Structure 1
Amino acid sequence: MTALLMAGMLCLGLVAGCGKDGGPQGKNSSGTKDTLVVATMAETPTLSPVEQNASAGYYMNLMNFTCLMRLDEDLNPVLDLAESYEAISDTEWEFKLRQDVKFHDGTSMKAEDVKASLEWAKGFTEVSLYNDNIQSVEVVDDYTVRITTPTPSPVLLFNLTQHGNAIVPKKLIDEGHDFNTQPIGTGPYKFVSWTRGDQVEFEAFEDYYLGEPSIKHVIWKIIPEGSSRTIALEAGEVDLVIEVEAMDVERIQENDKLATIQYKPTSVTWVMLNNEKQFMDNENIRHAINCAIDKESVVTVALNGLGEPALAQMPTNIPGVTEENADQYDVEKAKEWLEKSGVDPAEIKFSIICSDDTKKRAGEVVQANLKEIGIECTLESMDLATYLSATAEGDFVAAIGGYGMGDTISYFNGVFHSKSINASNKSRLNNPEIDALIDQASKAIDKEEREALTTQCAAMLNQICSQAPLYQTISLRAFNADLEGVTINDAGDLRIENISWKK
């Protein structure tokens, strides 16, 4: 997990170099505003690209790091640090690199850095699902690498868009550099400072290969409480809100000084059930819990209607998803599942971990629903870093959480494959038949064959019911109406380097 830091540094914050204050009120010498303050709900567990797989960390990584490929607005892998690629066989890919890329330390990126980075990342469990299909990386020349996969891999290009495959300097890897305290990459922004529990600050990288960003200074403010983020936006204390409080959407949209952008994330939020724990290892009890939850009410209470009830174990906007075998809301059916389990519901007692206000509201509905079938549960609030650690290590019975991924195979590998236990497989499902289907789909080059396999797997996962799906959100970003260039894809990628203030 995250690297341990000295207590004094935790208190004082981490500082790299000398940050520029941007002049009075975040303006440059010509009087043009050049600072952006972003409000986000949760603090990243680390700034390293390989020691976490959390949304909060991903937002930070988009500032500092880039990869061979990136996702476009339609979630297709497109060129980034690579200027071209060619599949030279079913298992060999050759990538030509851009020759104008510099790292934040001023050194130039070459093929040896790519090889070192991809090999380095394979040593971290948190991002293993993005690189376990990379068998070897060969330096062909200074600006060409050849990647070999153990079998045909239709998801290689997608995996090379992910933060876990960010390219960093070989020299720093060899020196044992701490990328949590000094995140040096090729991204549009350089790290300035991190004041724990308060904010992370960045400055524009003037040698960024796609051109120096218009916004010169970016401050990410950690504001856990939703209404406080809204108030800060209305007051002009922040310029952009990542997680918009559902209860405040109407009033934000009525404010002509503010704007919103909407997208449907490729993610599902569930009640994650630890299949290794007593009672949760009983499929009948898991079905009972799933059938007992009124998901329409969860969407209304937790999201103020900004979402869709989830029946399937996977998001509906990725290929190869089906609701076959999925449970419906049915209290009487839930009681039948309990009876079939042979367990007295009065014996089933557990806590549900919630790491933010939205999850807590959802948990309150779940708690009331389960009480109707005789199951008592409590809600436990927990900060994000502790929550991520506890759920990854299996130190929980139930928790409300989600997972987002724009590729079906990568989604299945991350959430349901046993190799992701102790990482993103939070239900700790360990089913050889599911693993085999995912592995088979991962090797299928033909699109129709691959989708047929993922659909078969999805139907089986609905039957197994390793966790109880709750909802798929309709997410918004809210921002100052004087900002332009704000776009976002369904993976949640926000490219701050493309944003500017209207002149």
Structure 2
Amino acid sequence: MKRIGILLAFVSALAFAGGDQLVVAYQGGAVTLDPHLRNETTTLSWQHHIFETPFFYDREGKVVPVLATSIENTDPNTWILKVRRGVKFHDGTPMTAEDVAYSILRAATHPKSQMKAYVGKVVSARALDEVTVEIKTKVPDPLLPAHLDHAAVIPKAYMEKVGEEGFQKHPIGTGPYKFVDWLNADHLTLERFEDYWGPKPDFAKVVLKNIPQGATRVAGLLSGEIDIAEKVLPQDFARVERSGRATVKQTPGVRIIYVAMDYWREYGSEGLPEGAKNPFLDPAARKAVYMAIDEEAIVKKIMGGAATVAQQFLAPVHEGYSSKIKRFPYDPEGARKILEDLGYGDKDGDGWLELPTKDGKRVPFELRIDAPNDRYLNDAQIAQAMASMLRKIGIKAEVNAVPKKVFFPNMTKGHFTLYIAGWGSMDSINTMLSMFHSKDPEGLYGRFNRQRYHNPEVDALIEKAASTFDPTERDALLQQAMEIAMVQDVAYIPLHYENVIAGVAKGIDFSPRPDEYLHAFEAKKQ
């Protein structure tokens, strides 16, 4: 009996990568299947198979209607949205304007919603009839249609019947696939929704796998157990191409890999020696670190060319990208001189720069670089390279690279002095409100501004842009804010924009999206 069970498991595994079933391997998994509680790319990618939104960005960065058919701005704070007819939820019940209104308001007001950065300006959403929703905002939001791409529609009656815990166990949406089972640390199994309103996906069954290690994903791809592998590492490109079983597909991406520094604590910054003064309150010290980083070398040697050197935080395709902003030059000697001129010179002659302490002493300039080791392409290796570059200018840098489930909560709690992370969004307003605007008590602004960057002039420009309907004027305001933040304040150090990379098995037609969402329903049989 035991041998039969093993044989069946083996046959099942072989079936994963063939026939009518598609297996997709991600670097992570979904943290939750409640579509309003987590704004993170992998979680959203998994959820998009089950849930849809009124509008969504297409591959070219254009906002297109999905569960809505149109939206009209009747006054600066009021929008009238028309709901698509003939859409069903996975339990067979029809989607109505009541469901859409309920979902938008839940995304905007749920205490744990991470979608407030997008729809937090919404103060009311109500159904006027079966296909019409009236949405009111507390201040004008000219990009509300785009922001509704983070307001997934769920069935109001079902949620009220089973509650949030029951919904997590068996989520229901309108998407091309419906839920079968979920083990959040391992996989999500889905089956095609035959009553789906849109084009039917090619594959009847889909398994989304959480495989953190890049080598393991590639091994599965080359063995035939995996059909699409996310984030093939540059060092594995040649191996995949030589295999004859799969190929590497790349698309230029919009995700910026950046460096952030403690912007608020004069003493007690957790990545410095105890009692040492935090030098990074001064933009000149932040500029010195910027100038010590040889980003061209990182892109060439660590990324294998699978990235583009970044000039600023926003990518060239984004509204608000300023052609006036250029990288500070790589100049390690100049970087060290800046720090010496700021008073951090090597007084004892041991080769290391020094930091003053609260009690008047001096200690070596030791710096912990925090980074994830399982979130971005070669993230830990980038941190190690940066530490080596900083050591060359006299900063005694060491790396603390940990799994993302440890890294992000620690960064949110402020357990850092300097960290490396990434940010990817097609929405410039959301990027500026989330990453550059000062934090506010309601959590509407500065949600991911973990370093607590603060400039009232930048705040005012962002807020004005966020309520400006004219796209030319809005773009100019965002460019001005970006120029102040990146050049004058050195709010972040931009490193590079990652390419979006996937390994794709022979017989499957699939290309990655610039926004990094990986959707099994976009894969086609050849």
Q: Tell me the distance in 1 between the aligned counterparts of 2:260 and 2:76.
A: 37
Shift of 1:256: 4.0
Q: 1:156: which partner in 2?
A: 144
Kept after mapping to 1: 8 A contact 2:429/2:462: yes
Q: Tell me the distance in 2 between the aligned counterparts of 1:289 and 1:446.
A: 38
- Equivalent position to 2:423, from 376, 384, 403: 403
Matched, 1:73 2:59: yes
For residues 190-244 of structure 1, the C-alpha deviation after alignment (integer angstroms, 9 at most, x for no partner) is: 2222234322222222222214432121112222222221121111110001111
Matched, 1:342 2:360: no
Q: Which amino acid aligns with 2:130?
A: D
Q: 2:390: which partner in 1?
A: 370
- Equivalent position to 1:98, from 71, 84, 103: 84
Q: 2:359: which partner in 1?
A: none
SS of residue paired to 2:203: coil
Q: 1:359: which partner in 2?
A: 379
SS of residue paired to 1:387: helix
Map 1:188-337 onto structure 2 (within 5 A): 188-277=176-265, 278=269, 279=278, 280-322=280-322, 324=325, 326-337=327-338
Q: Which amino acid aligns with 1:215?
A: F
SS of residue paired to 1:137: strand
Kept after mapping to 1: 8 A contact 2:124/2:137: yes
Structure 1's 417 and 181: CA in aligned 2 closer, same or farther, altered over 3 A?
A: farther
Q: Tell me the distance in 1 between the aligned counterparts of 2:69 and 2:299.
A: 43
Q: Tell me the distance in 2 between the aligned counterparts of 1:246 and 1:311.
A: 22
Structure 1's 472 and 325: CA in aligned 2 closer, same or farther, altered over 3 A?
A: closer
Q: 2:473: which partner in 1?
A: 449
Q: 2:116: which partner in 1?
A: 128
Shift of 1:294: 0.8
Shift of 1:24: 8.6
How much is the aligned-residue C-alpha RMSD, in angstroms? 2.5
Kept after mapping to 2: 8 A contact 1:313/1:465: no
SS of residue paired to 2:93: coil
Q: Which amino acid aligns with 1:332?
A: E
Structure 1's 412 and 397: CA in aligned 2 closer, same or farther, altered over 3 A?
A: same
Shift of 1:496: 2.1
Q: Which amino acid aligns with 1:329?
A: Y
Q: Tell me the distance in 2 between the aligned counterparts of 1:422 and 1:294.
A: 29
Q: Tell me the distance in 2 between the aligned counterparts of 1:418 and 1:282.
A: 17
Q: Tell me the distance in 2 between the aligned counterparts of 1:213 and 1:180.
A: 24
Kept after mapping to 2: 8 A contact 1:45/1:385: no
Shift of 1:159: 0.7
SS of residue paired to 1:214: coil
For residues 53-108 of structure 1, the C-alpha deviation after alignment (integer angstroms, 9 at most, x for no partner) is: 21111211211110001112211111100122222233322111112122223322
For residues 123-148 of structure 1, the C-alpha deviation after alignment (integer angstroms, 9 at most, x for no partner) is: 23522111123232121101110112
Q: Tell me the distance in 2 between the aligned counterparts of 1:237 and 1:79.
A: 36
Q: 1:117: which partner in 2?
A: 103
Give the TM-score, by structure 1 length: 0.88
Q: 1:177: which partner in 2?
A: 164
Q: Tell me the distance in 2 between the aligned counterparts of 1:22 and 1:55.
A: 32
> Which piece of structure 1 moves more, 172-181 or 256-265?
172-181
Kept after mapping to 1: 8 A contact 2:14/2:224: no
Structure 1's 193 and 253: CA in aligned 2 closer, same or farther, altered over 3 A?
A: same
In structure 2, stretches of 5+ residues that fail to align are 1-9, 270-277, 345-353, 356-363
Shift of 1:479: 0.6
Kept after mapping to 2: 8 A contact 1:312/1:326: yes
- Equivalent position to 2:501, from 454, 461, 476: 476
- Count matched residues: 476
Structure 1's 24 and 341: CA in aligned 2 closer, same or farther, altered over 3 A?
A: closer
Map 1:138-153 onto structure 2 (within 5 A): 138-153=126-141
Give the TM-score, by structure 2 length: 0.84
Kept after mapping to 1: 8 A contact 2:117/2:447: no
> Which piece of structure 1 moves more, 64-73 or 182-191?
182-191
Q: Which amino acid aligns with 2:309?
A: P
Q: 2:7: which partner in 1?
A: none
Q: Which amino acid aligns with 2:430?
A: S
Q: Which amino acid aligns with 1:82?
A: A
Kept after mapping to 1: 8 A contact 2:172/2:178: yes
SS of residue paired to 2:49: helix
Structure 1's 487 and 135: CA in aligned 2 closer, same or farther, altered over 3 A?
A: farther
Q: Tell me the distance in 2 between the aligned counterparts of 1:44 and 1:391.
A: 20
Kept after mapping to 1: 8 A contact 2:72/2:81: yes
Structure 1's 267 and 498: CA in aligned 2 closer, same or farther, altered over 3 A?
A: closer
Structure 1's 70 and 313: CA in aligned 2 closer, same or farther, altered over 3 A?
A: closer
> Which piece of structure 1 moves more, 40-49 or 322-331?
322-331
Q: Tell me the distance in 2 between the aligned counterparts of 1:341 and 1:134.
A: 46
Q: Which amino acid aligns with 1:167?
A: V
Q: Tell me the distance in 1 between the aligned counterparts of 2:93 and 2:452.
A: 42
Shift of 1:360: 0.6
Shift of 1:326: 4.3
Q: Tell me the distance in 2 between the aligned counterparts of 1:437 and 1:152.
A: 15
Structure 1's 203 and 428: CA in aligned 2 closer, same or farther, altered over 3 A?
A: farther
Q: What's the % identity of the aligned pairs?
A: 28
In structure 1, stretches of 5+ residues that fail to align are 1-20
SS of residue paired to 2:164: coil
